[in-house]
Amino acid sequence: MKLKMLAIAGGLLAATALSTAGAKADVKIGLLGGVSGPIAAMAPAMIDAAQLAISQVNDQGGILDGETLVGVVGDSACNPQGGTDAATKAVNIEGVTAIVGPHCSGAVLAAAGSVTVPAGVTMVTPSGTSPEITGLDDNGMVFRTVPSDDYQGRALARTLREQGYEKVAVAYINNDYGTGLANAFKGEFEAQGGQIAGFAAHEDGKASYRSNLADLSSGGADTLVIFDYGDGTGLTILRQALENGFFERFVGGDGMKSDAVINELGTENLADYFASSPVGEASNALDTFNAAFTAVGGDPDAIFVTTSYDAAFMLALAIEKAGGDKAKVAESLREISNGEGEAILPGEWAKAKKLIDEGKAIDYKGAAGDHNFDVNGDVPGTFALFEVGAEGYEVVTNMK
């Protein structure tokens, strides 16, 4: 009986496989994100934004010879093992042409080093911000649409100095993201004449950080700078610091700009809490994206949605330009956005495809910026400092 059922199930499976094989082959790109793990609250909006780019491509005639572009979602869990597993599955089983993601720096470094670079698959991370990624030995195959934390850390340090912060303590999560951001911040803050009165890494997932906080506050700082994830350990640290009155003011990096912080701690307790994050410069491209993303029910102010969208749309353009050849995607990615050629705004797939088919140069102007990659595949960026207001995060000042 069991065998019979298995045979029937197998037959059905084969039948569906056959029926799809008859249609045109799809072009797949991997969408690897931290669906579970410490950035789980941010990941869905980011993946939705990438899916928006994919659906625009398909609505406007599809990719290459009218083929369908398919986004294959994988969970990189925001850690190196998860990133490697998800990338392996995307590259070896799904056979993706390129990858958007993974979301976290540690996952990017691990996936690039062990899977995508050896396999020759181009990867564009919308949120892997560690300075480590800049120096990665990647044969030019790893890009990002988000600026390095080297910029963010230094911009945050300068902004805090301008606002009169003298003495701060820094708590950072012990991974590639936290370490890179914290070191960039520390260097610039001290160079600007500020004092770092406590500087300590912490491990993820402990229940109490009060001893860490007591240790950090013993240096006499009145401000705690947290480089962690607001949906993970960063939330625990912020809660325990607020409850015990260790510090008067709190400043977070982009990872801390999570709605979980507001939802769990309450707006009324966060009057002295600020968070920095990359922002799109006001532009036509950004407005176009905002309108399109709002139309599909997305929140255009959610973190990293612009970079996620750009990463997916640019990869689609690059795949089109490369004629679907995996090996040429990286090269094409630079060509479609090098400041030369006709400007392409978010969503202008049909126009871009026509120009590419005619062999003309195009220059993508993304929602998050122009994305003219430098030799390391990095982009410069703009940042703003946010506070918590009645409507969620509100801009306090732009950071330079």
Partner 1 sequence: MDFLELVNFYIIPGLVIGSIYALGAVGITLVFAILRYAHLAHGDLATLGAFLALAVVTGFGISPLAALPIAILGTAAVAVGIDKVFYEHLRERPKIVTVMASLGIALMVRAVVQVIWGVDSESYVKGIVRPDVYFGLRIRDREIYTVIAMIALVGVLQVFLTQSKWGKAMRAMSDNPNLALLSGIDNKKVVMLTWIIAGGLCAAAGVFLGINTELKSMMGWNMLLPMFAAAILGGVGRVEGAVLGGLIVGVAEELSVLVLPSEYKAATAFAILLFMLLVRPTGLLRGKVL
Interacting residues with partner 1 (CB under 8 A): 35-37, 40-41, 174, 200-208, 210-215, 218, 231-232, 235-236, 239, 242-245, 260, 263-266, 268-269
Complex with partner 1: residue 122 or 217, whichever CB lies closer: 217
Minimum distance between the CB of residue 241 and partner 1, rounded to whole angstroms? 10
Tally of CB atoms within 10 A around 183:
18
Quick one: which H or E segment has residue 117?
helix 117-119
Instruction: Kindly state the smallest distance separating residue 265's Cβ from partner 1, in Å.
Output: 6
Q: Looking at beta carbons only, is 243 or 325 nearer to partner 1? A: 243
- Helix (H), strand (E) counts: the chain: 14, 14
Comparison of 243 and 281: residue with beta carbon closer to partner 1: 243
Per residue, the 3-state secondary structure of 211-273, as one string, reads: HHHHHHHCCCCCEEEEECCCCCHHHHHHHHHHHHCCCCEEEECHHHCCHHHHHHHCHHHCCCE
Q: How far is the CB of 114 from partner 1 (least distance, A)?
A: 23
Q: Which is nearer to partner 1, 81 or 218 (CB)?
A: 218
Toward partner 1, which CB reaches closer, 197 or 315? 197
Task: Check residue 24 and report its DSSP letter.
Answer: P
**Least distance (Å) from partner 1 to the CB of residue 234?**
10
Backbone angles phi, psi at 138, to 5 degrees: -125, 15
Buried b (16+ CB within 10 A) or exposed e, 282-310: ebebbebbbebbeeeebebbbbbbbbbbb
Q: Please, what is the minimum distance in Å from the beta carbon of residue 202 to partner 1?
A: 5
Spatial CB neighbours of 83, under 8 Å, sequence gap ≥ 6: 32, 76, 77, 102, 104, 106, 107, 108, 109, 110, 111
Is 346:310 a contact under the CB 8 Å cutoff?
yes
Helix (H) or strand (E) holding 98: strand 98-100
- Work out how close the CB of 260 gets to partner 1 at its nearest, in angstroms, rounded to a whole number: 5
Between 270 and 336, CB nearer to partner 1:
270
Q: How far apart are CA 347 and CA 352, in angstroms?
A: 9
Instruction: Pick between residue 167 and residue 239 the one whose CB is nearest to partner 1.
Output: 239
- Rounded to an integer, what distance in angstroms lies between the CA atom of residue 283 and that of residue 302? 17
If the CB atoms of residues 213 and 305 are measured against partner 1, the closer one turns out to be 213
Burial of 129 from C-beta contacts in 10 A (0-12 / 13-18 / 19+): buried
- Rounded least distance, CB 207 to partner 1, Å: 5
For residue 121, count other CB atoms closer than 10 A to its CB: 25
- The two three-digit tokens of residue 93, written as one number: 């089983």
**Nearest approach, Cβ of residue 11 and partner 1 (Å):** 29
Nearer to partner 1 by C-beta: 270 or 319? 270
Q: Which is nearer to partner 1, 2 or 4 (CB)?
A: 2
Euclidean distance between the first and final Cα of the chain, in Å? 70
Tokens of 334: 């630079």
Write down the least CB distance from residue 51 to partner 1, Å: 19
Q: Give the shortest CB-156-to-partner 1 separation in angstroms.
A: 22
Cα separations in angstroms, 129 against 123, 162, 287, 317: 14, 24, 24, 23
